[in-house]
Amino acid sequence: MSDISANSRPLSGLPPALKAPPGATDCHIHLYPPGYVAQPGGPSIPELATVEDYRKLQQWLQLDRVVVTQPNAYQQNNAALLESLGQLGAETARGVAVVTPHTPRSELEGLHASGVRGARIMNFPGGAVTSTEMPFIEPLIREMEWHMMVQFNGRQLCEHLEALRGLKVDYIIDHIGKFIDPVSADDNRVDEILRLLDRGNAWFKICAGYETSLIGGPDYPDVGAIARRVVEHAPDRVIWGSNWPHVGVPRDQYPNDAEQLDVLLEWASPPVQQKILVDNPARLYGFSSP
């Protein structure tokens, strides 16, 4: 039995205005199943978020596929992630795990067999592995044909540019670049993101605009201006994630999950929504055609 409270977040509500196409993929969630506790160095777990809970959210938003990201709470222990992927099933779920420079090949092979296709790089407090370790991790995951999911404060992009340009594997610039605070869409750092995307191995994830927007929802126009510019420039390199269960903000700032999907109505045309929700994630994560 877990002493962590059961989920109390809403798992249903008014349907999103955007009708998700078949094969729509949520490329960023976290799961907190019972029986697993936070590890030293990571944040606490406020309440559970189980596969059963998420399936209800999937039904609400009419999403078919999902990518589960290793939470900071579990640090380098991927056991909860693997259990969750086992419950979700390989046909519709993939994972992003924590990999260190010392992760043995046998462990990587086990992660791959469970559906893991990426390594998480987190440059905020509580992150288990940061960008300083990317050069040592890249050779390990290159053999597995995985990508890196990289999160940092976009205002500090210049500090990461050299390392990102040096990557040979695919990588995701996470959380709309996570500019704290948002910059204008014509900022030189947004220019640099477009140049990275043009190199052919960078991806951009629309996710969690509520974490950085100073204006707020439902459209997050300050963050949305950045997203729209990237989507217009590189529609074949953009994916979307809900960031459920939104543990990065206090409960009184909890976003509406349907609105997190509906931002795509403002930020992308219907043909590009199909790319962002279905085609691009299928290419990056190896999902079959819906």
The three state secondary structure string of the chain is CCCCCCCCCCCCCCCCCCCCCCCCEEEEECCECCCCCCCCCCCCCCCCECHHHHHHHHHHHCCCEEEEECCHHHCCCCHHHHHHHHHHCCCCEEEEECCCCCCCHHHHHHHHHCCEEEEEEECCCCCCCCHHHHHHHHHHHHCCCCEEEEECCHHHHHHCHHHHHCCCCCEEECHHHCCCCCCCCCCHHHHHHHHHHHCCCEEEEEECHHHCCCCCCCCCHHHHHHHHHHHHHCHHHEEEECCCCCCCCCHHHCCCHHHHHHHHHHHCCHHHHHHHHHHHHHHHHCCCCC
> For residue 270, what are the CA distances in angstroms to 19, 194, 230?
10, 22, 16
The residue-averaged pLDDT of 172-201 equals 98
Q: What angle do CA 270, 266, 226 make, to 5 degrees?
A: 115
Does some domain include residue 10? no
Query: Using 50, 70 and 90 to split pLDDT, how confident is the model at 1?
Result: very low
Encode pLDDT of 122-152 as tens digits.
999 999 999 999 999 999 999 999 999 999 9
* pLDDT tens digits, one per residue of 24-81: 999 999 999 999 999 999 999 999 999 999 999 999 999 999 999 999 999 999 999 9
* 3 within some domain: no
Q: What is the mean pLDDT of the chain?
A: 97
The verdict on residue 141 lying in a domain is yes
Range 280-284 average pLDDT: 98
Contact yes or no for 246/254 (Cβ under 8 A): yes
- pLDDT for 110 beyond 70: yes
- The two three-digit tokens of residue 114, written as one number: 């469970």
Residue 18 lies in a domain: no
Share of the chain above pLDDT 90, in %: 97
Identify whether 106 is part of a domain.
yes
Q: Contact 266/219 with Cβ under 8 angstroms?
A: yes
Task: Kindly state whether residue 66 falls inside one of the protein's structural domains.
Answer: yes
pLDDT tens readout for residues 229-260: 999 999 999 999 999 999 999 988 999 999 99
For 138, the domain range is 25-285
What does DSSP say about strands 65-69 and 147-151: parallel, antiparallel, or unpaired? Answer: unpaired
Do residues 238 and 280 make contact, with C-beta atoms less than 8 angstroms apart? yes
Catalytic residues: 243
pLDDT band with cut points at 50, 70 and 90 for residue 289? confident
Check which CATH number belongs to the domain holding 101 and give it: 3.20.20.140
Domain count, the chain: 1
Higher pLDDT, 289 or 1: 289
Percent of the chain scored above 70 by pLDDT? Answer: 99
> What phi, psi does 86 have (nearest 5°)?
-60, -40
Gap between the Cα atoms of 19 and 1, Å rounded: 38
pLDDT per residue as tens digits for the range 21-36: 999 999 999 999 999 9
Which pLDDT score, from 0 to 100, does residue 82 have?
98
Range from 95-99, 249-253, 281-285 carrying the lowest mean pLDDT: 249-253
The single residue listed with the structure tokens 């998480």 is 120
Cβ pair 76, 98 in contact under 8 A? yes
Please give the pLDDT value at position 236: 98
32: phi then psi, degrees, rounded to nearest 5: -130, 80
| pLDDT-based confidence at residue 2 (cuts at 50, 70, 90) | low
| Res 290: pLDDT | 75
Indicate the residue type of 243.
N
Look up the pTM and report it: 0.97
Residue 20 lies in a domain: no
Domain assignment of residue 114, yes or no: yes
